[in-house]
Amino acid sequence: MAELLQYLVTGVGIGCAYALTGSGLVVIYRVTRVVNFAQGSFAVLAALTVTTLLGAGLPHGLAEILAVLVAGLIGLLCGLVATGKPGTTPQTALIVTLGLGVLAYAVEILFWGDQPRSFAGLAGSTGGVQTHYLLIIGVTAVVLAATALLFARTDLGRALTATAADPYAARIVGIDVLRMGLLAFAVGGALGGLAGVLITPVQQVSFDSDVALVVNGFSAAILGNLTRPALTLAGGLLLGVVQALVGGYLSTSYQSEVALIFMLAVLVARAGRRGVLEAA
C-alpha cells in the first residue's frame, strides 16, 4: 500500500513536468498555430542554467526563478526566429523550431558539456515520499492556476485568447498578432523552463533530454488536441502515473513506451474518426 502511494505521488510529480511542458506547447500552438518542437529545450536550458547560477553562489529559489525567466526570454527569441519573418507558415515554423532544438544542443554542449547534470531539490521525505515531489506538485498547481487566471481575467490574456480564436478579427481591433505570438512563446518558454527546473533534482538532465520531454508533453497535450489546457493537465498526470505504475510493477524498460503508444493511439483514433466523418 505504501508502495502504491509512493508510485502515485512520484507519478503525479513527473506528470506535472509533462503537463507544464504540454501547457507550453498549448499556449504557443493556440496563439500561433505553431507546434514548437524546441519545447523540450527550454526545460534543459533552464535546468542547466540553474546549475550555473547555484555554482555562482546564488541561493536556491532565486536561481530557479531566474532560470525560468531566462527560459522565457529564450522562448521569446525562438518565437522571433520561428514566426518573425512575415509570411512564415506554421509548417515552416515547425521545421524552424526543429532547427532551434538542434541549435540548443550546440549551445548546451558548449557551455555545460555533454554529461548529465543535476542539482539538489527539497531535501528529506514526507510519508515515505521524497518531499521534492510535493514541491513539484504544489508549484505546478499554483503556476497552472495563475496561467489560467492570466488568460481568463486580464486584458492581455483575453487578447491572447482572441488572437488564438480569430487572428483576422484580432488584427481588425488593433491587436498586434505577431507580438501576441511572441508573448505566447515567452510564456511557453517559461512553462517549459519551469518543468526542467522542477524535475531535474529527481531526474538528471542532459542536453538530449529534450526529445523525451517534448514527446511526453506533446502526448499530454494531444488528448486536448493541443488547444485544451485542462485536458493537457489531465493527460500529463495520467501519463506520469501510468508510467510510474508500469515502472514499479512491470518493468522500467516499458516506461518510455507508455506515452508513445498513448500518443499514437490518440492520433490514429482521431484520424480514423475524421476519416469516417469525411467519407460520410
Partner 1 sequence: MTERSERHDRVFWSSLFSSRQDGIRWWWIAGALIVSAVPLLLAPGQLTTFVLLGLSAMAVVGLSLLMGYAGQVSLGQASFTAIGAYTSGLLALHHTPPLLALLAAPIVAALAAAGVGVPILRLRGHQLAFATLALQLILLSVLGDADWAGGAVGLQGLPYLSIGGFELDADLDYAYLVLAGVLLVSLIAHRLVRSRVGRGLRALATGETAAEASGVPVGAYRLLVFAVSAAFAGLAGGIYSFFLGYLAPGSFPVLLSIEYVVMAVVGGLGSIGGALLGAALITVVVQLLTTLATQPGMPSYAPSVLSYAVYALLLIAVVLFVPKGIVPTLRRSS
Partner 2 sequence: MIEVEGLTVRYGVATALDEVSLEVRDGEMVALIGPNGAGKSTLVNTLFGILRPAAGRVTTTGRLALVPEGRHLFAPLTVDDNLRLGAWRDRKGRDTGPIYELLPELVPLRKRPAGRLSGGQQQMVALGRALMARPDVLVIDEMSLGLAPLVVETLAGHLRDRHAEGLAVLLIEQNARLALDLCSRAYVLEAGRVVAEGPSAELAGSAGVAAAYLGLEA
Q: From the CB of 120, what's the least distance to partner 1, in Å?
A: 26
Among 23, 32, 37, 27, CA closest to 84: 32
Cβ pair 194, 18 in contact under 8 A: no
Q: Looking at residues 139 to 158 of the shown chain, list those that interact with partner 2 (rule: CB under 8 A).
A: 155, 158
Residue with cell 506520469: 240
Among 266, 267, 239, 268, CA closest to 255: 239
Q: From the CB of 187, what's the least distance to partner 2, in Å?
A: 18
With CB under 5 to 8 Å by kind, the binding choice for 154 among partner 2, partner 1, none is: none
Cβ pair 196, 74 in contact under 8 A: no
Instruction: State phi, psi for 168 to the nearest 5 degrees.
Output: -65, -50
Q: Looking at residues 103 to 132 of the shown chain, list those that interact with partner 2 (rule: CB under 8 A).
A: none
With CB under 5 to 8 Å by kind, the binding choice for 55 among partner 2, partner 1, none is: none
CA distance 72 to 186: 4
Q: Looking at residues 162 to 181 of the shown chain, list those that interact with partner 2 (rule: CB under 8 A).
A: 162, 165-166, 168-175
Integer CA distances (angstroms), 88 to 20, 57, 114, in order: 27, 42, 33
146 or 250: CB nearest partner 1: 250
CA distance 138 to 119: 19
Question: Which residue of 159, 184, 220, 263 would you call a contact of partner 2, by CB under 8 A?
Answer: 159
Write the DSSP symbol of residue 19: H
Q: From the CB of 177, what's the least distance to partner 2, in Å?
A: 11
With CB under 5 to 8 Å by kind, the binding choice for 175 among partner 1, partner 2, none is: partner 2
Q: From the CB of 73, what's the least distance to partner 2, in Å?
A: 25
Q: From the CB of 277, what's the least distance to partner 2, in Å?
A: 21
61 or 174: CB nearest partner 2: 174
Instruction: State phi, psi for 110 to the nearest 5 degrees.
Output: -60, -45
Q: From the CB of 166, what's the least distance to partner 2, in Å?
A: 5
Strand segments (E) across the chain: 125-126, 129-130
Q: Ramachandran region of residue 33, left (φ > 0), alpha (ψ -120 to 50) or beta?
A: left
Kindly list the residues in this chain that would bind partner 1 in the complex (CB under 8 A). Answer: 35, 37, 81, 85, 88, 91-92, 94-96, 98-103, 105-106, 109-110, 113-114, 208, 211, 215, 218, 222, 253, 256-257, 260-261, 263-264, 267-268, 271-272, 274-275
169 or 261: CB nearest partner 2: 169
CA distance 163 to 170: 5
With CB under 5 to 8 Å by kind, the binding choice for 91 among partner 2, partner 1, none is: partner 1
With CB under 5 to 8 Å by kind, the binding choice for 62 among partner 1, partner 2, none is: none
In the structure grid, which three cell numbers stand for residue 218, read together? 506533446
Cβ pair 79, 10 in contact under 8 A: no
Applying CB under 8 A, which residues contact partner 2? 155, 158-159, 161-162, 165-166, 168-175
